[in-house]
Amino acid sequence: DNIPLTALALKQGGYDWGFLAYTVGFGGSMVWFGSSSGVALTNLYPEGRSVWQWIRHGWLIPVAYVISFFFMLAVWPWHPDEPHKERKLRTGISEPAH
């Protein structure tokens, strides 16, 4: 699942929020098991689980994903947030004692 990886990226910092949302939202839903709605849909239509059918009829989806990612990169340049550790060191904020 992509939720723990997204949470880790947000805690770590140093990522561009727009690109993170795009890759998690679109990229995580490209295949049937990448989203809960895809799993629910393939429970109703088991033929949706066929890798061969996905390659045969769905090849345009990853192509569109890559093209739109680079289009977004050209229109909205990469602006990552500062990593949280560097921000704490620069501002002098210390970690709380556990």
Q: Is residue 29 part of a domain?
A: yes
pTM: 0.60
Count of domains forming the chain: 1
- 18: domain range? 3-91
Sign of CA dihedral 61, 25, 84, 5: negative
Residues 6+ apart with CB under 8 A from 41: 32, 48
pLDDT tens per residue across span 58-83: 888 889 989 999 999 899 888 777 77
Q: Is residue 87 part of a domain?
A: yes
Distances (CA, A) of 23 to 28, 93, 95: 7, 31, 30
Q: Is residue 98 part of a domain?
A: no
- Mean residue pLDDT of the chain comes to 78
Distance between CA 32 and CA 73 in Å, rounded? 26
Q: Is residue 96 part of a domain?
A: no
Q: Specify the higher pLDDT residue, 13 or 1.
A: 13
pLDDT tops 60 at residue 98: no
